[in-house]
Amino acid sequence: MTDSQHIGKGRESADIVILGAGPAGLVLGNLLLRSGIDCVVLERTGRDHVLNRARAGFLAAHTVRVLRRHGLDEGLRRSGREHGVCEFRTEDGRFRLDYQRLGNGEPHTVYPQHELVADLLAAYVGAGGRIHFDTEAVEVGGADGDRPWVAAREPDGRTVRWDARYVAACDGRHGAGRGSLPEGAVRHHRDHGVSWLGLLAEAPPSLDAVGYATHPRGFAGHMARTADITRYYLQCDRGTAAGDWSEERIWDELDLRMRSADYGPLRRGRILQRTVVDLESDVLASLRYGSLFLAGDAGGLISPAAAKGANLAVLEAELLAEAFADDLHRGDPEPLARYSDRCLTHIWRAQEFSHWMIRLLHGAPPFQEGMRRSRMESLRTSRTHQDWFAEQYVGI
Ligand code: APR
């Protein structure tokens, strides 16, 4: 969209225009408001969709510290539960790692992401934050200069131009931020060649631990969400559609792979949601393009194998909020200049661990499978290895 195309159309402005109301966009919005910086959030979907989208639920210790530091942890304190044990079930038996007592001695906090998003939204709106739902950013322009703009389609179909000092794209992998990168922007992508059927079951957790099962038929995972809801994963063939498996087949397969015959049956329930996830990683070489900054999934996509996505999003949002404040309040552009490198250090570390987890949990015979079993055995027997695992697993 060029300047002339805007004539006659709505025009608005904010110092920072934030695209997307996920964890990245809403943490950023809250922190900017607290610094007295004018901002607006543009969100493609509706309020209900944002509030009800079930996603991840394991918060790293660093994420909890960020939320506490900024007074955004009320719900978390009320109903988040500390969690610090995982259980591996393999062809060689089972073992548990009390990871909150290993490594840096930190637990996860289990708190469903949609509840966190609801808290962040309530805090943002309560503090007078501006948010436009059902408003899709279609293009970011002018980012190579110091007057960037966002063209956004409002619910009534009008296109409004938002003028900004900076644009923060927190609108995920398929958002307008990524779609507006300059030609030649470098993206590092890896397809791990593995797919998971992700399930949300209306069933109490069956283990008092995160469960990871390796089985000749493929990986299965168990993660508590709440007292009544459990997340399960089943490795499936690439190309599987979410509806391909009947509920009975899902539970039978979970029981088989989790070795319920040896360790006790799973508590079954209705499958509330199901999605197929192809495990992929994708990192932009830079999270800054002039006046356009990317955070969360918009900047890098990480496979769910180590539950790092939301935690990285919060870390990046805090760094970006501080850097905007330094620039706008103190005239110091240095933190903004360092933002991308600082984030990428964390992103690549998380990617490396996530990749390690994928190789721990999936193997193709014979060589990969031999390596996988050896890696698992090392984790079972080596205290040094266990400490490293715990540090990476909870750390960010
Ligand atoms: N315009 C405006 N909003 C958009 C657009 C657009 N063009 N495209 C997408 N969005 C919105 C989505 O509707 C969504 O609400 O951006 C938001 C992005 O939110 P998330 O997908 O939650 O991404 P992020 O905030 O980066 O959170 C990171 O949490 O659970 C994890 O896997 C998840 O790793 C991800 C993480």
Mutate which of 135, 171, 231, 281 for ligand 1? The one with the most ligand atoms within 8 Å of its CB, which is 171
Q: For 284-300, what is each residue's pLDDT tens digit?
A: 999 999 999 999 999 98
For residue 145, how many other CB atoms are within 10 A of its CB?
9
Asked if the model's pLDDT at residue 306 lies above 90, the reply is no
Residue 340 Cβ inside 6 Å of ligand 1? The answer reads no
Judged against a pLDDT cut of 70, whether residue 5 lies above it is answered with no
What is the C-alpha separation between 203 and 335, in angstroms, rounded? 46
Which residue's alpha carbon is nearest to atom 34 within ligand 1? 309
Radius of gyration of the chain (CA): 22
Tell me how far apart the alpha carbons of residues 43 and 121 are, in angstroms, rounded to a whole number.
12
Domain residue ranges in the chain: 3-83+109-189+281-357
Task: Tell me the C-alpha to C-alpha distance, in Å, between residue 89 and each of 93, 219, 290, 345.
Answer: 6, 10, 48, 32
Q: Tens digits of per-residue pLDDT, 335-392?
A: 999 999 999 999 999 999 999 999 999 988 789 899 999 999 999 999 999 999 999 9
The residues that bridge with 18 in the sheet, in sequence order, are 41, 168
Cα 135 from Cα 277, distance rounded (Å): 26
Query: Which backbone phi and psi does 13 adopt, to 5 degrees?
Result: -155, 160
Active site residue 335: no
Burial class (CB in 10 A: 0-12, 13-18, 19+), 118: middle
With cut-offs at 50, 70 and 90, classify the pLDDT of residue 9. Answer: low
Looking up tokens 């393999």 gives 90
- The verdict on the CB of residue 167 being under 6 Å from ligand 1 is no
Q: Which residue lies with its CA nearest to atom 11 of ligand 1?
A: 20
Catalytic residue list contains 393: yes
Query: Which tens digit of pLDDT belongs to each residue from 307-337?
Result: 899 999 999 999 999 999 999 999 999 999 9
On the question of a cis peptide bond just before residue 366, with omega within 30 degrees of 0, the verdict is: yes
Is the pLDDT score of 76 beyond 50? yes
Looking at residue 4, its pLDDT comes to: 41
6 has a pLDDT exceeding 50:
no
Q: Which CATH number fits domain 3-83+109-189+281-357: 1.20.1050.10, 3.50.50.60, 3.30.1330.10, 3.20.20.100?
A: 3.50.50.60
Mean pLDDT score across all residues of the chain? 94
Query: To 10 degrees, what angle do helices 23-34 and 309-330 make?
Result: 30
- Whether 385 is catalytic is no
Q: Which of 212, 232, 233, 339 is catalytic?
A: 212
pLDDT at 10 over 90: no
Measured from the Cβ of residue 174, the count of other Cβ atoms closer than 10 Å reads: 11
Q: Is the CB–ligand 1 distance for residue 26 below 6 Å?
A: no
pLDDT in tens, 249-295: 999 999 999 999 999 999 999 999 999 999 999 999 999 999 999 99
Per annotation, catalytic residue among 99, 124, 339, 393: 393
Mean pLDDT of 96-109: 96
**What are the strands, taking DSSP E only, across 203-348?**
210-213, 220-224, 230-236, 270-284, 288-289, 292-294, 300-301
Burial 22-59 (b: 16+ CB within 10 A, else e): bbbbbbbbbbbbeeebebbbbbbeeeeebeeebbbbbb
pTM over 0.85: yes
Residue 45 Cβ < 6 Å to ligand 1: yes
**119: which 2 tokens?**
């808290």
Q: How far is CA 254 from the centre of its chain?
A: 25
CA-proximal residue: ligand 1, atom 19 (nearest)? 22
**Which amino acid is present at 375?**
R
> Among candidates 163, 147, 152, which has minimal Cα distance to 290?
147
Q: 83 an active-site residue?
A: yes
Q: Check residue 44 and give its pLDDT.
A: 98
Residue in 83, 108, 222, 346 annotated catalytic: 83
Amino acid 8: pLDDT: 42
**What confidence tens digit (pLDDT) does each residue in 154-208 have?**
999 999 999 999 999 999 999 999 999 999 999 999 999 999 999 999 999 999 9
339 carries an active-site annotation:
no
